Structure 1
Amino acid sequence: MTPDTVMIFAAGRGTRMRTLTQDRPKPMIPVAGRPLIEHALDMAVAAGLRRAVVNTHYLPAPLEAHLSRETRLSITLSPETELLETGGGLKRAAPLLGLGPVFTMNADVVWQGPDPFGALVSGGVPGPGGARLLLVPRANAVGHPGAGDFALDQSGRPVRRGDAPEAPFVYTGLQLIDPAAALAVPEPVFSLNRLWDAMLAQGRLRATVWTGRWCDVGQPGSIPLAEAMLADG
């Protein structure tokens, strides 16, 4: 069955945004006239998803008020009293997500191109304890000057940067993952990287390369780049 639920990571402090996050959480920063969280919700709705779980922590009131007015998706909040990082956030939200693979995505990116959720599903839904990452070529990662995150081996499986001669693909922040993998970690605070390393060792991590363009809106200078990308589309 095609997953119909997405967890949106929205709890971070957004410190790289400097003054823009003094009075609001990063997902409420406007890009092209709309809060970043709306761009994430638009993508989920367009893909036919029905449910979203959103974790909150830093200055949550504006974001929670905004989400309370969302009528296109069923929204469930997963408040965090401390920052749990991405893996810990997924672990805390797991009881709200239900059984089987779900999408997870970052709230601070914008997209231009074909349905990224559909691209992940078309590559194959991961089995128990596994995940499928959505990658984009570095040339399609707008405003991302650094190195890539992954390469692909001859069978199309992801290989970490550092374990390959080069890493031509950037992780987009969108994946399909079995939340049970996070429940198996005893600590409350940890990164998704811990889960991926275990999956790589077990042969349970897969990847799909997306053909659209993507922009990580992680700092003020990324906002005009994202807006120009969207306008160009």
Structure 2
Amino acid sequence: MILAAGRGERMRPLTDRTPKPLLPVAGKPLIQYHVEALARAGVSRLVVNHAHLGEQIVAFLGDGARWGVSITYSAEPAGALETGGGIQHALPLLGDGPFWVVNGDVWTDYPFLARPIPEGSLAHLVMVDNPEHHPQGDFVLSGDGSVADAGDGRLTYSGIGIYRAELFTGCQPGAYPLAPLLRQAMASGRVSGEYYAGRWLDIGTPERLDMLDKELRRT
């Protein structure tokens, strides 16, 4: 599942007329990098949620055939459903097994290779070094591969993870964040993770978008 429903307030005025996942980087919309990476990794069925200017996302991606994938859309009401509510809303489209989730507003060269989520884990998070704009990090990745909410050596959650539908058991439909669910699962030892040292950037501001554009045009 590619999360593409956010309004992108910090990216305004760029996102007033263009949804953030369609903002171009080195001549290619951000979301296309994810579609291509997932296709290369053998992921054939994608779900994309959308809200703000979502018709543009549907028009650009279509059914996914040109990348060799099948894309289904999870439309959300105006204002979107936040990350937790958006994933729960899309669960009927995501099948019975574990599924990838990736934020549509990050760029990375992470390889989405097939890997089993550890037995008993409700979520498996890809963690990265803390960027300058988020020095405090999010969670702690232990040597045994478990992820905790408190402790030293905090890393940043990359916005890439593998989830089980059971994480959302008991949740009421509607808008709500994902982080409280993850922290609840961490408290019972049911979140695992991995560290990724490759290239990753959260495209949260026009300045970071421009920085990435220049970097990719040089490479």
> What is the TM-score normalised by the length of structure 1?
0.85
Instruction: Find out whether 1:150 has 2:139 as its counterpart.
Output: yes
SS of aligned partner of 1:103 = strand
Whole-Å separation in 2 of the counterparts to 1:164 and 1:129: 20
Describe how 1:1-233 pairs up with structure 2 within 5 A. Answer: 7-68=1-62, 70-71=64-65, 72-82=68-78, 83-112=80-109, 115=111, 117-118=112-113, 121=115, 124-127=116-119, 130-138=122-130, 141=131, 144-160=133-149, 163-167=150-154, 169-231=155-217
Q: Is the 8 A contact 1:88 1:182 kept in 2?
A: no
Structure 1 residues 156 and 128, CA gap change in structure 2 (3 angstroms): closer
Instruction: Output the aligned Cα RMSD.
Output: 2.0
Q: Share of identical aligned residues, percent?
A: 36
Q: What letter corresponds to residue 107 of structure 1 in structure 2?
A: G
Contact 2:89/2:173 (<8 A) preserved: no
Cα gap change, 1:154/1:128 in structure 2, threshold over 3 Å: closer, same or farther?
closer
Paired letter, 2:117: V
CA offset digits 1:54-85 (Å, max 9, x no partner): 11100112111011163121000000014211
CA contact (8 A) 1:94 1:183 kept: no
Normalising by the residue count of structure 2, what TM-score does the alignment of the two structures yield?
0.90
Task: Tell me which amino acid in the other structure corresponds to 2:76.
Answer: E
After TM superposition, give the deviation of residue 186 of structure 1 in Å: 2.2
- 8 Å contact kept, 1:13–1:26: yes
Any gaps of 5 or more consecutive residues in structure 1?
1-6
Distance 2:60 2:91 in 1: 23
**Distance in 1 (alpha carbons) for counterparts of 2:120 and 2:143:** 24
Compared CA separation, residues 231 and 147, structure 1 to 2 (3 A): farther
What are the Cα deviations for residues 183-203 of structure 1, in whole angstroms up to 9, with x where unaligned? Answer: 431252211112211211221
Structure 1 residues 85 and 153: alpha-carbon distance in aligned structure 2, compared to 1, 3 A threshold: same
With over 3 angstroms needed to count, the CA separation of the structure-2 counterparts of 1:42 and 1:136, relative to structure 1, is same
Once residues 24 and 55 of structure 1 are traced to their aligned partners in structure 2, the CA distance between those partners, rounded to angstroms, is 15
Rounded to whole Å, the distance in 2 between the matches of 1:49 and 1:210 is 20
Shift of 1:232: 5.8
> How far is the alpha carbon of 1:87 from its aligned partner?
0.7
Quote the Cα distance in structure 2 between the aligned partners of 1:135 and 1:165.
Answer: 14
**Number of residue equivalences:** 216
Quick one: distance in 1 between partners of 2:104 and 2:145? 27
Q: Tell me, which stretches of 5 or more residues in structure 2 are unaligned? A: none
Q: Deviations over 1:123-152 (max 9, x none)?
A: x414466110001123xx4x6453211222
Cα distance, 1:107 vs structure 2? 0.6
Q: Deviations over 1:82-141 (max 9, x none)?
A: 4211110111100010101100000111113x51x22x72xx414466110001123xx4
